[in-house]
């Protein structure tokens, strides 16, 4: 196992009050003794005011605070030191360099967390959540990452894994005595246990589309005819003037993408060139881009000036596969007497001049992109990555194959291989592989001859 001493700046370099430097691994305390004065590894988890000194030149580089974390009670599980220095471009870099002179090597990206994983301080799902928490740009992302870091998802996966092992324990008798007609466990009990775990797994897997969207941000493409007010709406949703707005049709030629947080959820908004047949080659390209974005979109915000519902719009809407939210724009210049509708869809009336309807658009977007997550609440775990989805899909497939094999009279030992494979998929997902576990469970919780 790699455990050589590594060092890295844990805060971004630049002008700041403080910087945090992390040092971990075999020999970390010996390195600390050469660089930090005084050095007190015998006073664990106590903040000590230190002079940081270059080990070769003896020059003082900074005055800081050092905290020693003897392993295994540290983030990485190894002997670890955290040094708070002054920030800025020079000091923290020189302190890191001094640690290297004293025997540490520069850490690879993610190496501290990787060591924490190797040393069993956290599992793979938690390690992912650590990265997600750092990358969170919307409160909903932060809440999810924190819940996963606190093992919300890990606990659910472990519970599912246990249930599959219980199922295996139920058919253990049939495995040991295949020639007997009926074991002590009636088939209906196996059937019931199977349904319970199958449904739970299926429900968790069903959170994947919105969960992955939460991770990446929902891609919303603003489409519609030229001059409909698309760029104005784009800017209004972003809260700043990102796209150029003019009264000249065809102003937006490129697709512009920008991140936005709406109702606490992460979105990626795309303003596009108006969809129409244009003789202008550059605009044509823009329209091509629109179509490509449309193909990748989670949602389409279709804009049309209130009261101008056109046949072209109806044709476009009938073609499109992606869910559409219809927006009737420029509500301020038409009295909202009759209810507008675009292509028979419920339509949100918006004016970017008066601000009317903007909140409704935001709510509608959040509901359409993340409604299931909202209804599920923050406590119920969800999966947020393709890796999660792939593993759960495999576990579910194995469960279904188990059931099919049982139904077609395959012997118990052979059906059990599907349960082993399902558990294996969950183990891979959590990142903790314990191959002897299955056997221990079967014989630990079941008494042959009963
Ligand atoms: N009165 C009014 N004018 C608007 C509104 N939204 C956009 N416009 C005007 O409509 C024109 C086209 O807007 P723009 O956002 O560039 O449309 P795009 O071509 O669809 O991107 C500009 O002159 C805007 O000022 C609105 O809500 N009310
Ligand atoms: Mg535009």
Query: Could you read off the pLDDT of 123-174 as tens digits, one per residue?
Result: 889 988 988 898 899 999 999 999 999 999 999 999 999 999 999 998 887 7
Q: How far is the CA of 255 from the centre of ligand 2 (A)?
A: 9
Per the structure block, which two tokens stand in for 100? 């290297």
Residue 303 has pLDDT above 70, yes or no: yes
Angle (CA) 146 151 155, round 5°: 145
Q: pLDDT per residue over 363-404, tens digit each?
A: 999 999 999 999 998 889 999 999 899 999 999 999 999 999
Ligand nearest to the CA of 228: 1
* Model pLDDT, residue 275: 64
Which residue did the predictor score with more confidence, 445 or 215? 215
pLDDT at 279 over 70: no
Spatial distance between the Cα atoms of 348 and 271, rounded to a whole number of angstroms? 18
Distance CA 304, CA 185 (A): 64
Q: From ligand 2's centre to the CA of 215, what distance in Å? A: 28
Q: Which atom of ligand 1 is least distant from the CA of 228? A: 20
Neighbours of ion ligand 2 (CB under 5 A): 230-231, 252
Q: How many CA atoms lie within 13 A of 329 on its CB side?
A: 21
Which ligand has the shortest distance to the CA of 246? 1
Instruction: Return the C-alpha torsion angle 283, 284, 288, 293, nearest 10.
Output: 20
| Residue whose entry in the numeric block shows the structure tokens 């009261």 | 307
Note whether 324 and 300 are within 8 A (CB): yes
- What span, in angstroms and rounded, lies between the C-alpha atoms of 412 and 391? 24
Cα(322) to centroid of ligand 2, in Å? Answer: 21
Strands 80-88 and 60-69: antiparallel
Q: Ligand 1 centroid to 229 CA: how many Å?
A: 4
Q: Please state the rounded mean pLDDT for residues 258-263.
A: 95
Q: How far is the CA of 357 from the centre of ligand 1 (A)?
A: 15
> Which residues does a 6 A CB cutoff place in the pocket of ligand 1?
226-232, 245-247, 251-252, 274, 329-330, 332-333, 351-353
Task: Return the best residue to mutate from 230, 232, 256 for the ligand 1 pocket (most ligand atoms within 8 A of CB).
Answer: 232
Ligand number, closest to the Cα atom of 245: 1
So what's the pLDDT on residue 138? 96
Residue 109, pLDDT above cutoff 50: yes
| Angstrom distance (rounded) from CA 145 to CA 136 | 8
Ligand lying nearest the CA atom of residue 256: 2
- Please give the backbone phi and psi of residue 121, each rounded to the nearest 5 degrees, phi first: -80, -30
Chain-centre distance of CA 248, in angstroms?
Answer: 41
Which residue's alpha carbon is nearest to atom 1 within ligand 1?
330
Atom of ligand 1 nearest to the CA of 249: 19
- Please give the helix or strand (H or E) that residue 175 lies within, else none: helix 172-176
Better pLDDT: 152 or 314: 152
Token pair for 431: 């990142």
The DSSP letter of residue 255 is -
Minimum CA distance residue for ligand 1 atom 11 = 247
Give the integer Cα–Cα distance in Å for 380 and 261.
22
Distance 318 CA to ligand 1 centre (A): 25
pLDDT band at 412 (very low <50, low <70, confident <90, very high): confident
Query: What is the C-alpha to C-alpha distance for residues 296 and 277, in angstroms, rounded to an integer?
Result: 21
Mutation choice for ligand 1 from 242, 245, 275, 350, CB with most ligand atoms inside 8 A: 245
Which residue has a Cα nearest atom 16 of ligand 1?
Answer: 245
Q: Please tell me the distance between residue 289's alpha carbon and the centre of ligand 1 in angstroms.
A: 21
Length of the chain: 450
Please tell me the residue having the least CA distance from ligand 1 atom 10. Answer: 229
CA gap 136, 133 in Å, rounded: 5
Kindly indicate the confidence band of residue 449, based on its pLDDT and cuts at 50, 70 and 90: very low
Q: Please state, in angstroms and rounded to a whole number, the distance separating the CA atoms of residues 358 and 234.
A: 11
Q: What is the mean pLDDT of the chain?
A: 86
Beta carbons within 10 angstroms of residue 262's beta carbon: 23
Ligand lying nearest the CA atom of residue 350: 1
- Quote the ligand 1 centre to 335 CA distance (angstroms): 17
Give the separation between CA 241 and CA 252, rounded to whole angstroms: 13
Confidence of residue 443 (pLDDT cuts 50, 70, 90): very low
Ligand 1 centre to CA of 227 (Å) is: 6
């Amino acid at each position: 196992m790699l455990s050589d001493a590594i060092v890295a700046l844990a805060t971004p370099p630049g002008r700041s009050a403080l910087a945090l430097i992390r040092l971990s691994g075999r020999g970390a305390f010996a390195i600390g003794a050469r660089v930090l004065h005084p050095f007190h590894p015998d006073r664990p988890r106590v903040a000590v005011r230190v002079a940081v000194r270059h080990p070769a030149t003896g020059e003082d580089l900074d005055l800081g605070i050092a905290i020693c974390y003897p392993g295994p009670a540290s983030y990485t599980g190894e002997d670890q030191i955290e040094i708070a220095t002054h920030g800025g471009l020079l000091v923290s870099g020189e302190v890191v360099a001094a640690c290297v002179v004293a025997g540490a090597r520069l850490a690879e990206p993610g190496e501290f967390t990787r060591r924490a994983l190797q040393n069993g301080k956290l599992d793979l799902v938690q390690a992912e959540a650590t990265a997600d928490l750092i990358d969170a740009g919307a409160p909903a992302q932060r809440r999810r990452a924190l819940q996963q870091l606190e093992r919300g998802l890990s606990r659910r996966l472990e519970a599912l894994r246990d249930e599959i092992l219980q199922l295996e324990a139920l058919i253990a008798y049939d495995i040991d005595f295949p020639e007997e007609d009926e074991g002590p466990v009636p088939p209906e009990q196996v059937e019931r246990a199977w349904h319970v775990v199958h449904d739970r797994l299926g429900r968790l897997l069903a959170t994947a589309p919105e969960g992955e969207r939460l991770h990446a941000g929902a891609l919303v493409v603003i489409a519609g005819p030229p001059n409909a007010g698309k760029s104005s709406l784009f800017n209004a949703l972003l809260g700043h003037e990102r796209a150029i707005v003019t009264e000249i049709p065809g102003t937006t030629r490129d697709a512009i993408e920008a991140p936005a947080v709406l109702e606490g959820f992460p979105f990626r908004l795309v303003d596009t060139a108006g969809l129409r047949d244009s003789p202008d080659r550059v605009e044509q390209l823009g329209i091509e881009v629109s179509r490509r974005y449309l193909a990748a979109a989670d949602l389409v915000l279709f804009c049309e000036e209130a009261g101008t519902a056109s046949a072209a719009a109806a044709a476009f809407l009938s073609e499109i596969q992606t869910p559409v939210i219809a927006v009737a724009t420029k509500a301020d210049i038409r009295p909202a007497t009759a209810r507008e509708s675009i292509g028979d869809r419920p339509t949100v009336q918006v004016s970017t001049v008066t601000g009317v309807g903007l909140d409704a658009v935001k709510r509608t977007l959040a509901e359409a992109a993340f409604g299931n997550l909202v209804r599920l609440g923050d406590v119920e775990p969800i999966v947020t990555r393709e890796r999660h989805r792939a593993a759960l899909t495999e576990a579910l497939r194995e469960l279904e194959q188990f059931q099919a094999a049982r139904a077609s009279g395959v012997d118990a030992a052979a059906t059990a291989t599907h349960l082993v494979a399902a558990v294996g998929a969950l183990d891979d997902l959590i990142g903790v592989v314990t191959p002897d576990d299955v056997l221990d469970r079967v014989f630990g919780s079941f008494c042959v001859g009963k």
